[in-house]
Amino acid sequence: MSDTTHIPTLDDVARVAGVSTATVSRCLNEQQKVSAKTLERVMKTINDLGYTPNFNARAMAAKRTHTIGAIIPTMENAIFARGLQAFQETLHASGYNLLVSSSAYQPDLEAEQIRALVARGADGLLLIGYERGQDIYDYLQRRGVPTVLAWTSHPDGGHASVGFDNCAAMRMLADRVLAMGHRRIAVISGIVEGNDRAEGRLRGIRESLVAHGQDPDALPVIQTAYEIENGAAAFETLMAQDPRPTVVMCGNDVLAAGAISRAKHLGLAVPEDVSITGFDDIELASILHPTLTTVHVPHRDMGCIAAQELIDMVEKRSMGATRKLEVSLAMRESLRPVVEP
């Protein structure tokens, strides 16, 4: 046996089956255009030879890849896992494949990955949030790549998007916190720069303060990357103030998990000594001790709808709509009313 094993091509199949390459191609892509007899013979040959179509050649000739690209800010924690899973499942059901990249919250890396996915021939793209350079939107438009923005709700509906209003959502939670009598609020926020979701959430708290006659500029805020350890460190810093905050509102559940963990180390009881809130309602939120009060985001719905929207744009060249989903509060143990002294 020679070691120069030949990888079978469509030509090989055609030759062995005694038909033209066009017919083999039709057997693969448009079976109804081929007679039953020919189809059977060709399929048998394909099997015998162990032939697999070359994806790149296919993409090149057809100018279609049935591939959708998605770029998410991080894969390290579960923030996007559930939504992306639903996105993937919906795509798969319609015969599309998903290619995922992580941008590590770096705009230039995201730009690079967008170009890479487009260069690979992605039929459409899913991006998180709306805040990015106009040049990127121009590029996407020029290349004619349908794009859906998720996890956000674009202020002026210039783009197709599926998400929710981060600001209004967090404001709803802050309203509740204030209604419970909390007046000394501190915040652990994600990095706001270049992240419209984090910015919106923080703004929601400030707006709520204003509506309740509080001074938003007096609000203690620490911005930090979404990692458990960062949440823990920020919590400790915030609790060193005098007087201590009665509640620490976190930009997401991961930061909140860090805060709760550190509270325990510091000998602080949650919620007796200090209340803590999160955002996202990932699985983690309900197994923490205490269970975490947070904003519930319909991740699976978001993923499904985004996929449907994108497929529609790809196949019908439609414009793509703006879909706004409702969020709700998940009231659990980690938040409770201020006790009068």
Partner DNA sequence: CTTACCTGTGTAAGCGCTTACAGTTGATTC
Partner DNA sequence: GAATCAACTGTAAGCGCTTACACAGGTAAG
Contact residues for DNA, defined by CB under 7 A: 7, 9-11, 18-26, 28-29, 32-35, 37-38, 51-54, 57-58, 60-62, 64
Which of DNA, a second copy, none lies near 137, with the C-beta cut-off 5 to 8 A by kind?
Answer: none
71-107 burial, b at 16+ Cβ within 10 Å, e below that, comes to bbbbeebbbbebbbebbbebbeeeebebbbbbbebee
Q: Which is nearer to a second copy, 117 or 221 (CB)?
A: 117
Interface pick for a second copy out of 20, 29, 31, 56 (rule CB under 8 A): 56
Structure tokens at 50: 């162990």
* 21 forms part of the interface with a second copy (CB under 8 A): no
Binding region for a second copy (CB under 8 A) out of 12-20, 70-78, 151-159, 202-210: 70-78
Structure tokens at 82: 């559930």
Using an 8 Å Cβ cutoff, are 149 and 159 in contact? yes
Q: How many helices (H) and strands (E) does the chain have?
A: 12, 12
Q: Which is nearer to a second copy, 166 or 294 (CB)?
A: 294
Binding region for a second copy (CB under 8 A) out of 18-26, 196-204, 210-218, 255-263: 255-263
Which of DNA, a second copy, none lies near 47, with the C-beta cut-off 5 to 8 A by kind?
Answer: none
Strands 247-250 and 147-150: unpaired
Interface pick for a second copy out of 21, 38, 85, 223 (rule CB under 8 A): 85
Binding region for a second copy (CB under 8 A) out of 33-41, 111-119, 152-160, 313-321: 111-119
Rounded to a whole number of angstroms, the minimum distance from the CB of residue 101 to DNA is: 21
Strands 328-330 and 294-296: antiparallel
Which of a second copy, DNA, none lies near 328, with the C-beta cut-off 5 to 8 A by kind?
Answer: none
315-328 burial, b at 16+ Cβ within 10 Å, e below that, comes to eeeeebebbebebe
Spatial CA neighbour of 186 closest among 239, 258, 255: 239
Rounded to a whole number of angstroms, the minimum distance from the CB of residue 114 to DNA is: 17
* 9 forms part of the interface with a second copy (CB under 8 A): no
Rounded to a whole number of angstroms, the minimum distance from the CB of residue 257 to a second copy is: 6
Rounded to a whole number of angstroms, the minimum distance from the CB of residue 153 to a second copy is: 26
Rounded to a whole number of angstroms, the minimum distance from the CB of residue 119 to a second copy is: 4
SS3 per-residue string spanning 169-238: HHHHHHHHHHHCCCCCEEEEECCCCCCHHHHHHHHHHHHHHHHCCCCHHHCCEEECCCCHHHHHHHHHHH
Rounded to a whole number of angstroms, the minimum distance from the CB of residue 317 to DNA is: 16
- List the beta bridge partners of residue 336: none
Alpha-carbon distance of 50 to 308, in angstroms, equals: 34
Which of DNA, a second copy, none lies near 5, with the C-beta cut-off 5 to 8 A by kind?
Answer: a second copy
* 269 forms part of the interface with a second copy (CB under 8 A): no
Spatial CA neighbour of 104 closest among 95, 94, 113, 115: 113
- List the beta bridge partners of residue 147: 125
Query: Interface residues with a second copy (CB under 8 A)?
Result: 5, 7, 50, 52-57, 59-60, 65, 75-78, 81-82, 84-85, 88, 97, 99-100, 102, 115-116, 118-121, 139, 142-144, 228, 257-258, 260-261, 264, 283-284, 286-289
